Amino acid sequence: MTDRDVFEYALLRVVPRVERGECFNAGVVVYCRARSFVGARTHLDEGKLSVLDPAADVAGVRAALRAVEGVCLGGDAAGQAAPDDAGRRFRWLIAPRSTVVQPGPVHTGLTTDPEAEVERLLDLLVR
C-alpha cells in the first residue's frame, strides 16, 4: 500500500456581482501539511463570466486569479505572504471575503501526490 497524506482544498469562485450571489468555479487551491505543499491552478471561462456580467472586468478577474497562484508559489510572487509557510498562505487564501474571486468551503481527501490533485480537481470541478 502506498503512503497517502491528508490534503485540504477549496474551490475559487468568481462572483461577478456580489449582490446577486451568482458564481462559477474558476480554480482550486490545495494544501498538504505533511508535504508542506500549497498550490493553485485556475481556469477562467470568459463565456460564463460575460453571461453573468457583460460588463465584468475580465483583466481584473484574471489578475485576481493569478495573484492566488502567486501566493501559492511563494517567493516574490507571494508579495506580503512570501515569508509565510505553506499552511499560513493556504489559510490566508481561504479566508472569507466579499470580492469578485472568493474561496468556497474547505474539503479534505487523501493523496500520494498533492501536485497531481491540483490538476485532477481542476479538471473535475472547474473545466
Contact yes or no for 112/4 (Cβ under 8 A):
yes
pLDDT at 2 over 70: no
When the pLDDT of each residue in the chain is averaged and rounded to a whole number, the result is 93
Interval 49-103: pLDDT, tens: 999 999 999 999 999 999 999 999 887 877 788 888 899 999 999 998 888 999 9
Structure-block grid coordinates of residue 23: 458564481
pLDDT at 72: 92
Specify the length of the chain in residues: 127
Interval 101-112: pLDDT, tens: 999 999 999 999
pLDDT at 8: 98
pLDDT at 110: 97
User: Sign of the C-alpha dihedral, residues 101, 124, 47, 70?
Assistant: positive
pTM of the predicted model as reported, rounded to 2 decimal places:
0.91
CB count within 10 Å of CB 73 equals 15
Phi-psi sector, 79: left (phi>0), alpha (psi -120 to 50), beta: left
pLDDT at 1 over 60: no
pLDDT: which is higher, 36 or 78 = 36
